[in-house]
Amino acid sequence: MVKFREIIRLHELGRNQSDIARSCGVARATVQDYTRRASAKGLNYEQLEVMSDSEAQALLGKQQGASTPATTIAFKDIHQELSQKGVTLALLWQEGLDRQAWTLSYGQFCRRVRSTKAATSCSSTTVV
């Protein structure tokens, strides 16, 4: 089980991500993911400490559930929004989590966006 409370506690103490990852025995990307999710939801260690694991995981968007099928994500809209100034994949991913449009991890979301972009750019090129 991921030590999400300890990750948030150490983050609030000002520890860097690499130290937190090493201390908790998780990948640095996991630390980034949990701290990003907690920040987006305005959650701190004290709030997470009084919740059950399932409540905290649900608030952080990490509840176990069926993965979102790639066909239900409007990748065309995502690619259009990315062309706007100040729009990032992380921002779009967090907005989707907040709307409960998907339960994908940030890495899964990025891979799907990149693969659809590659697929659309390959299909629009012509070979002479």
Question: Residue 54 in contact with residue 63, Cβ under 8 Å?
Answer: yes
* 80 and 28 fall within a common domain: no
Which pTM was predicted?
0.53
* 123 and 71 fall within a common domain: yes
* 114 and 73 fall within a common domain: yes
Query: Could you tell me the residue range of the domain that residue 83 belongs to?
Result: 65-128
Q: How many domains in the chain?
A: 2
* 56 and 3 fall within a common domain: yes
pLDDT of 71-96, one tens digit each? 578 888 888 999 999 999 988 988 88
User: Residue 45: which residues within 8 A CB-CB, separation 6 or more?
Assistant: 5, 8, 9, 12
**Residue at token pair 């989707």:** 96
pLDDT of 34-67, one tens digit each? 898 888 888 899 998 898 888 888 888 776 554 5
* 2 and 57 fall within a common domain: yes
